Amino acid sequence: MRPQSFGYRSSASRIGPLLLTTLVGWASLCHWSAPASARDVATRPNFVIVLADDLGYGDVHFQGNPDRTTPNLDALAAEGLRLTDFHVSGPVCSPTRAGLLTGRYQQRCGVDGVINAGFDKNRHHGLQPDEVTFAECLHDVGYTTGLCGKWHLGYEPKYNPTHQGFDLFRGYVSGNIDYQSHFDRVGVKDWWRQAQLKDEPGYSTHLITSHAVDFIDKNHDGPFCLYIAHEAPHTPFQGPNDPAFRVEGKVVQERVSPAHKRRAYREMIEEMDRGVGDVLAALKRHQIDDRTLVLFFSDNGAARDGSNGELRGFKGSLWEGGIRVPAVAWSPATIKAGGVCEETVFSLDIMPTMLALAGTTAPKNRPLDGVNVSGVLMRDEPAPKRTLFWKYGRKRAVRRGPWKLVENAPGLEGTGLFRLDTDLSEMTNLAAKHPEVVSSLTRALADWEKSVASSATPQPGRSSK
């Protein structure tokens, strides 16, 4: 945890042998030389993470959807590396974000479910202050850090992003807000400047983009890490010209026609796409695109009004439709244009990858579950062989190579075993034919559950045992 900062610029400037080694490696990849001076700090790569909300595997044109108009995301994919086997660690908002921010399974940080806005729910929960985020680690080695958009890791002041390593926070802390009036589900105003509630007029997607571009304009000399967490295309279904419907102090149900949903959903994605274009334009305008790594993906699969393409299931499930998401890595000087990566990459890998490229590591008392995949992204190396795990409520899943085991999934009786390399839609249950694989994966899942349970950070009102 770091003290709250209200400025854009960071004052940290420590640089060590690991950082210098990484700088030389990055410079070699980029085909330019790292100067042997204090300017090394300013030549480290910048990082931009663009996170969509509930964007499905089939919700963008570059994934083959002819009904989506996403020219900027298409360009990002054409100029970068499309990751076709990218998975997030959770099938819903808060868990995935906790895993992304910490590089650890969200079960370890006690955020294994959605943090709800309702005062009779778990609104008092959050990412505990002693957890360590990538923003804190990067801040400690001289990065300026910013979050524009959705937090959803705690409503109380002690959970504000400015207490978790972010120099800048402009956005909201709940799961979703009215795109126009900025009220959350229970009628509470939710638009923040740093740790202060400070509303401003505007469509939330446009505001998020505007603050992101402003951050780049003010910090282009770098190094910086910018986390852009869009609301789109999460509900409510509001395009830029739709009126507000949520008001203060009331729970107002959204009642719109199927035609309205389809039109608004399309517009929400299109506005986010324009925002991505504005961010890329800012990077190019300041001539820092060649030393910036941009990562785009969604926090989970689409809900039922979106599209997950050929994948089975939706948001909230551990079928591929809930956890495999569209993803692109973009860095003109280090990533070849037009590539397609079929290696398995995990959202928990983002933090260790950024830290490695920045020349730093996570604290030893917070070992990461993700791995550094810079070689996968930049040098066409194979991903490390490993076993990945998911748990959401009673639902469980485990992945090892092409094999995926699923338990307690909707529409499934008993245990399901699938080969994703030949059955991406998870339609053919092979559990009866391969009991030895089922047994091995079941044991691994049980061991993992014990591991994360024993090290879980307790939430207020929750036992640590």
Query: Has 93 been annotated as catalytic?
Result: yes
Is 236:176 a contact under the CB 8 Å cutoff? yes
Q: Please provide residue 159's backbone torsions phi and psi, each rounded to the nearest 5 degrees.
A: -95, 5
117-150 pLDDT, tens digit per residue, is 998 889 999 999 999 999 999 999 999 999 999 9
Q: Please provide residue 173's backbone torsions phi and psi, each rounded to the nearest 5 degrees.
A: -105, -10
Residue ranges of the chain that CATH labels 3.30.1120.10: 389-454
Q: With 50 as the cut, is the pLDDT of residue 113 above it?
A: yes
First to last CA, the chain: 24
Phi and psi based region of residue 68 (left: phi greater than 0; alpha: psi -120 to 50; beta: remaining): beta
- Residue 143's pLDDT is 97
Instruction: Pick the range with the lowest mean pLDDT from 26-35, 320-329, 428-437.
Output: 26-35
8-37 pLDDT, tens digit per residue, is 333 333 334 444 444 444 444 443 233 333
Closest CA to 453 of 3, 105, 53: 105
- Residue 42's pLDDT is 55
32-87 pLDDT, tens digit per residue, is 233 333 336 556 899 999 999 999 999 999 999 999 999 999 999 999 999 999 99
Distance CA 202, CA 286 (A): 26
What letter represents residue 87's amino acid?
A: H
Distance CA 155, CA 149 (A): 14
DSSP H helices, 326-424, are 350-358, 374-379
Distance CA 374, CA 341 (A): 12
Candidate CATH numbers 1.50.10.20, 3.40.50.2300, 3.90.10.10, 3.40.720.10; the one for domain 17-384: 3.40.720.10
Beta-bridge partners for 133: none
Instruction: Give the three-state DSSP class for 204.
Output: helix
Which residue has 């990077």 as its token pair?
A: 283
Q: With 90 as the cut, is the pLDDT of residue 208 above it?
A: yes
Catalytic residue among 93, 109, 137, 341: 93
Q: Is 389-454 a domain of CATH 3.30.1120.10?
A: yes
Type and span of the H or E element at 94: helix 93-102
Catalytic residue among 87, 125, 139, 152: 152
pLDDT band, residue 461 (cuts 50/70/90): confident
169-187 pLDDT, tens digit per residue, is 999 999 999 999 999 999 9
Closest CA to 78 of 296, 229, 233, 267: 296
Is 30:290 a contact under the CB 8 Å cutoff? yes
When computed from its CA atoms, the radius of gyration of the chain, rounded to whole angstroms, is 21
Residue ranges of the chain that CATH labels 3.40.720.10: 17-384
Mean pLDDT score across all residues of the chain: 91
pLDDT band, residue 2 (cuts 50/70/90): very low
Q: Please provide residue 156's backbone torsions phi and psi, each rounded to the nearest 5 degrees.
A: -70, 150
Listing DSSP states for 376-395 in one string gives: HHHH-PPPPP-EEEEEETTE
Respond yes or no on whether the N-terminal peptide bond of residue 95 is cis (omega within 30° of 0). Answer: no
Q: With 70 as the cut, is the pLDDT of residue 464 above it?
A: no
DSSP class of residue 189 equals B
Type and span of the H or E element at 27: helix 17-30
232-246 pLDDT, tens digit per residue, is 999 999 999 999 999
Torsion of CA 437, 442, 447, 453, to 10 degrees: 150
Q: What is the mean pLDDT of residues 449-464?
A: 83
